[in-house]
């Protein structure tokens, strides 16, 4: 909770039981996933690409909701709902650990402390090679983030985890990677072995495309700023993107009240709009179309963090 903002969410979190809107969407996402993969032969690849992207993006939004303690009062049950490795590359428990660290609002965007930062330390920028700097500049455009950014996210995470295990001898994450490998093997046994979908099609249409579309949301979520509020955006999106991202377009509001269920965020935003926009220093986008128009080809920011 930030100073000067209304206290919301703690009482709801203590009283939470079953959140039926979230449970209903979870059922529909899983059902759609199994139906689409089972009948994949009837769906041309050009259509499977957006279908798979939407399903995996929705599932990623569900995982985000689960990480914040929804939709039941049982952490174990919530984790079961969110553990399916539809993205292939990201273990759920590692995502959970990193994302909860990201909610240390004092360190938002800091490349040394925020695991979801897309910036590099200012002091290390000059030491980077020219090709590396070029790639990081490309990653600051929306088109670059949706393409090159996927590879950077995957390679960056895996490289950091290998260094943790091999170089530093830190085995604390080894168990979650073993668990993830087992879950991926089970998923692919169904998708490839039972449903008969080619592995390349799943990787392209689900894992890659789903990760890419999710980055539409995260691309402009945060910016470096001296104040905490000024680091978090509000995107007044249309119905499609609000549902796709489980209302996480109200991102400043989510950082203020991370325990509030996704379906309660729009009403809360309407009631607190002026206060929230004052807190986040007017960091407002009038829909994702504005972000596409601004940054599809143009660089959003310099990759070197101005304060870190």
**What pLDDT is recorded for position 7?**
53
Query: pLDDT category, 11, cuts 50, 70, 90?
Result: very low
What is the reported pLDDT for 308? 75
Confidence of residue 5 (pLDDT cuts 50, 70, 90): low
pTM exceeding 0.85 = yes
pLDDT number for residue 105: 85
Is the pLDDT at 162 greater than 80, yes or no?
Answer: yes
Mean pLDDT, all residues of the chain:
95
Q: What share of the chain has pLDDT > 70, as a percent?
A: 95
DSSP the chain: --TTS---SHHHHHH----HHHHHHHHHHHHHHHHHHHTGGGS-HHHHHHHHHHHHHHHHHHHHHHHTT-SSS-HHHHHHHH---TTSSS-HHHHHHHHHHHT-GGGTT-TTT-TT---B-GGGGGGS-HHHHHHHHHTTSHHHHHHHHHHHHHHHHHHHHHIIIIIS---TTHHHHHHHHHHHHHHHIIIIIIS---HHHHIIIIIIHHHHHHHHHHHTSB---SSSGGGB-EE---HHHHHHTTTTTSHHHHHH-TTS-GGGHHHHHHHHHHHHHHHTTT-EESSHHHHHHHHSSS--S-SB-S--
Query: What percent of the chain has a predicted confidence (pLDDT) above 90?
Result: 91
Does 6 have pLDDT greater than 80?
Answer: no
Give the pLDDT confidence of 254-268 residue by residue, as tens digits.
999 999 999 999 999
The pLDDT of residue 156 is above 60:
yes
């Amino acid at each position: 909770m930030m100073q000067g903002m209304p206290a919301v969410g703690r009482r709801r979190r203590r009283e939470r039981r079953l959140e039926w809107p979230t449970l209903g969407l979870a059922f529909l996402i899983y059902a759609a996933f199994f139906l689409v993969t089972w009948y994949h032969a009837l769906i041309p690849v050009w259509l499977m690409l957006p279908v798979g992207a939407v399903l995996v993006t929705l599932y990623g939004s569900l995982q985000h909701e689960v990480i914040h303690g929804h939709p039941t009062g049982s952490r174990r049950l919530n984790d079961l709902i969110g553990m399916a490795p539809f993205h292939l590359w990201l273990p759920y428990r590692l995502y959970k650990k990193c994302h909860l660290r990201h909610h240390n609002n004092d360190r938002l965007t800091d490349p040394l402390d925020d695991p979801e930062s897309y910036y590099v330390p200012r002091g290390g920028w000059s030491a980077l090679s020219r090709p590396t700097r070029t790639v990081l500049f490309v990653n600051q455009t929306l088109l670059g983030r949706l393409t090159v950014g996927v590879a950077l996210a995957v390679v960056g995470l895996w490289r950091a985890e290998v260094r943790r295990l091999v170089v530093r001898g830190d085995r604390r994450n080894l168990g979650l990677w073993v668990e993830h490998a087992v879950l991926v093997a089970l998923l692919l046994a169904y998708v490839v072995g039972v449903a008969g979908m080619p592995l390349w099609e799943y990787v392209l249409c689900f894992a890659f495309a789903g990760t890419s579309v999710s980055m539409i949301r995260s691309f402009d979520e945060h910016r470096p700023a001296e104040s905490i509020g000024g680091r978090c955006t509000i995107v007044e999106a249309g119905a499609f993107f609000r549902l796709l991202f489980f209302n996480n377009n109200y991102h400043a509001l989510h950082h203020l009240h991370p325990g509030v269920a996704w379906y309660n965020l729009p009403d809360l935003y309407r009631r607190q709009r002026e206060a929230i926009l004052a807190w986040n220093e007017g960091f407002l986008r009038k829909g994702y179309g504005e972000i596409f128009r601004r940054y599809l080809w143009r660089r959003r920011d310099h990759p070197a963090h101005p304060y870190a």
